[in-house]
């Protein structure tokens, strides 16, 4: 998943300018706004939330001779909410050390789904209470790794 900025095709322009633009768009919330615009008619029978940990490449600490000891701090995590068909409806990118459950409130805020589906990383009373306030069914039925909140 992903590629080093220096490996981007030349058609995108210089890698440092592309990186700078990407960061500015992240800071201004443009990626979230684009996603919301592109979603036409989400199916909120189910709202599913999860996160994926993205490790950096070994050479991500910079150009040749970069400091490899701090690469752990460069890892990121993608927190995602998808509708019943798996279409993304909300996405947040955080530091790799961010706990999944700390982003759940932001992921489900303002969404009225029938059910919220999440793994055990989101099993907290605060998340269940927020889901119930938003009229989502909250059940304690569980499988080995997945919990219907």
Each residue's pLDDT tens digit, 78-105: 999 999 989 888 988 898 889 999 999 9
Question: Does 1 fall in a domain?
Answer: no
Predicted confidence (pLDDT) at residue 72 exceeds the cutoff of 70: no
- Residue 94 vs residues 4, 79, 91, 100, 143: alpha-carbon distances, Å: 18, 8, 10, 10, 28
Q: Which residues pair with 46 in a beta bridge?
A: 115
Range of the domain at 22: 11-40
Same domain? 32 vs 50: no
Same domain? 92 vs 62: yes
Per-residue pLDDT, 114? 93
Report yes or no on whether pTM surpasses 0.75.
no
Rounded-to-integer distance, Cα 53 and Cα 63, Å: 23
Same domain? 26 vs 53: no
Same domain? 117 vs 70: yes
Question: Does 6 fall in a domain?
Answer: no
Question: Does 47 fall in a domain?
Answer: yes
For the chain, the average pLDDT equals 82
Query: pLDDT tens digit string along 108-127?
Result: 999 989 999 998 888 888 99
């Amino acid at each position: 998943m992903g590629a080093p900025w220096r490996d981007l095709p030349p058609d995108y322009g210089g890698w440092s300018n592309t990186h700078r633009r990407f960061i500015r768009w992240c800071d201004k919330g443009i990626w979230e706004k684009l996603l919301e615009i592109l979603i036409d008619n989400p199916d909120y029978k189910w709202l599913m939330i999860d996160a994926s940990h993205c490790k950096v490449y070994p050479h991500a600490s910079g150009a040749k001779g970069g400091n490899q000891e701090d690469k752990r701090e460069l890892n990121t995590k993608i927190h995602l909410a998808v509708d019943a068909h798996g279409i993304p409806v909300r996405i947040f990118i955080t530091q790799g050390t961010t706990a999944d459950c700390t982003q759940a409130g932001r992921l489900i805020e303002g969404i009225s789904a029938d059910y919220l589906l999440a793994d055990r990383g989101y099993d907290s009373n605060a998340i269940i209470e927020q889901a119930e306030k938003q009229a989502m069914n909250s059940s304690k039925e569980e499988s080995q790794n997945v919990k219907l909140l």
